[in-house]
Amino acid sequence: MEVRNCKMCGRLFNVLNNERICPACQKKLEDKFHEVKQYLEDHPGASVEQTATDNDISTKQIRQWVKEERLILSSATEAGIVCEKCGKPIRTGRFCDKCKENMANAFQNAYPKKEEPKKQDTISGRDRDRMRYLKNE
């Protein structure tokens, strides 16, 4: 089992899934996320900077939650979050809808399509698996 120092508080903790922060700090961060989410529901037009100031959290963390698609901003332009592929302003995630669709199509076309198996004989599956007897004459 691996032991690391927490990036937020510096305490040692056992690493289970390559985490960077301890369980106590994860809990605090999750509570802060719910606080920010509730704030955005109450103040839908709030900017990222205003939200960060009012909730005592970094704008970097809010932008990270937006990239993880945990938060959706009310307007795309004021946050400064842009598609990583084309640069178009977006409200959530890392890519715009058009780029997501293009990447999905590219992944789908990357693998060759499976060809239908050719029929070798016209005997049905049931008849093929039957036992056959030779006639004694």
**pLDDT tens for each residue of 68-101:** 888 887 765 556 688 889 988 888 889 999 999 9
More confident residue, 98 or 115: 98
pTM of the model: 0.67
For the chain, the average pLDDT equals: 83
Q: Residue 63 pLDDT more than 60?
A: yes
**pLDDT tens for each residue of 25-36:** 999 999 999 999
Residue in the structure block whose two tokens are 């795309």: 76
Q: How confident is the model at residue 118 (pLDDT cuts 50, 70, 90)?
A: low
Q: Residue 122 pLDDT more than 70?
A: no
CB 50 within 8 A of CB 62: no
On the 0-12 / 13-18 / 19+ scale of CB atoms within 10 A, 36 is buried
